[in-house]
Amino acid sequence: MIINAVNSSHNIKRNSNPKNAFGGIKEKVIDFCDINQKGSISRFAFVSVAATFLLGARYFQARNADEKREVFTRDFSAVVAAVYAIPILRKFIGKYINSQGIPIAYGKEEKSTKEEKGLLNTIKKYWSKINPENGVKIVSYDQLSDWFSVKSTDEFNKIHKGFTGFCENISKIGGNLAKCFKILGHSEFADKKMDNAKILEEINNLQGDKLITLQKLFVRDEHGMNNLLRKASHSKSLVEAGCIIATAALLGWGLPGFNIWYTRKLYKDGDKKQEKTPPKNITAPVNRPQIKTLNNNSMTEKFKNFQATL
């Protein structure tokens, strides 16, 4: 089962004015079948095709009830876990780490402005909160490097609002500036228990050597890191490694192992009825017509009797 083939960053523009019902269906089919430049299909298309043709085919072509049960418990669960459960887990871990002050995930939550009642709308509302395609996603190492470090202090001049803009960005993505500066070695903001807004105000008013001192904290060392970036990078790596191990443990060992154990248990405990037909015993009497005696001298009769024995 491939976990890699789903593109979660699909950019689908819905045709808001389909000419007619067929136009609407055509657009939906076009969106469904869309392949991005890298050759991956959308998450929804992946789940639909996998559930119907991959798992459905395995299930209905299974040779016995054991195989059917195993397909259901192992493969259905694997697809759902790979496509939804693990990304959802990653999303919530990313959110949690963001809340600790050094963000590693970014994304905008798309909230519906309408407050509609009804079961379907409630489900939609909660689904939009946990949907891994909506909201924060753990970013790449390059992006972390952009957020928390610079090659030299000159780079601040190329950013909108300079150093203040750089720090404001960290604040916007959920960072705790006091904590970030403390990790970099400047604990004044943390000691004074200043919040992000006050820190930004103070930074905005800084000039000269004081400003340069703070700016230099973010410059990357000879290894391409600073303490803040290192901490963020390690957080991300541990989360990612944990997710890989969890994926391998669940989908590679856990689910198949459970199936094997459960099938053995069913047979060992003797609860399972033998579903096989008994092997054909060639010595068992077949259903033959009554063989007549061969006292009749008629050759035709003899031949008929001989035929009956076949």
Partner 1 sequence: MEGLLLPSVFTWKQIVNYININKIQTLPPHNIKTGEQKTSNYRISNPSFCASGGVPEGFCPKIAHYIDKVMRIIEKGGFFAEFIALDVLGMMGPRTVQAFLRNRDELGHLNYKAGTEEAIREVFSGPSFFIIPMTFLALSGKIFGSASKISVNTLREMKGVAKSAVENTSDGKQIVNEFYSGIVKHLYGDKLSETEHKNMTAAFEKLHNAHMDPGPPKKVGGFFKTIAAFFKKPPTEKVETAHKELINMLVAKNKEIGDDAARGISLADSSRIKFFGKKPQSIENIIEDCKNYSTDVLKTLVTDTAGNSKSKLLERISKNKIRARIGITTSAILTLSAFLYYIPYMYKQNKEFPGIDGLTEQPANDNNTAVKKRVA
Neighbour-count burial of 84, counting CB atoms closer than 10 A to its CB (0-12 exposed, 13-18 middle, 19+ buried): middle
Least distance CB 199 / partner 1 (angstroms): 17
Q: 261 with 278: CB under 8 angstroms?
A: no
Residue placing its CB nearer to partner 1 in the complex, 211 or 255: 255
Q: Which pair of structure tokens corresponds to residue 72?
A: 């259901």
Rounded distance between C-alpha atoms, residue 48 and residue 134, angstroms: 19
Residue placing its CB nearer to partner 1 in the complex, 284 or 299: 284
**Which residue bears the tokens 């960005």?**
169
Least distance CB 304 / partner 1 (angstroms): 21
Least distance CB 186 / partner 1 (angstroms): 20
Least distance CB 221 / partner 1 (angstroms): 7
Residues 6+ apart with CB under 8 A from 69: 259, 263
Residue placing its CB nearer to partner 1 in the complex, 117 or 160: 160
Least distance CB 267 / partner 1 (angstroms): 4
Least distance CB 193 / partner 1 (angstroms): 26
Pairing of strands 137-138, 41-42: unpaired
Least distance CB 254 / partner 1 (angstroms): 10
Residue placing its CB nearer to partner 1 in the complex, 206 or 266: 266
Q: 40 with 18: CB under 8 angstroms?
A: no
Neighbour-count burial of 169, counting CB atoms closer than 10 A to its CB (0-12 exposed, 13-18 middle, 19+ buried): middle
Residue placing its CB nearer to partner 1 in the complex, 44 or 194: 44
Rounded distance between C-alpha atoms, residue 75 and residue 258, angstroms: 12
Q: Which of 233, 91, 239 is nearest to 148 (CA)?
A: 233
Residue placing its CB nearer to partner 1 in the complex, 123 or 244: 244
Please report, for residues 82, 137, 167, the alpha-carbon distance to residue 150 in angstroms, rounded to integers and kept in the order given.
Answer: 36, 23, 12
Residue placing its CB nearer to partner 1 in the complex, 122 or 252: 252
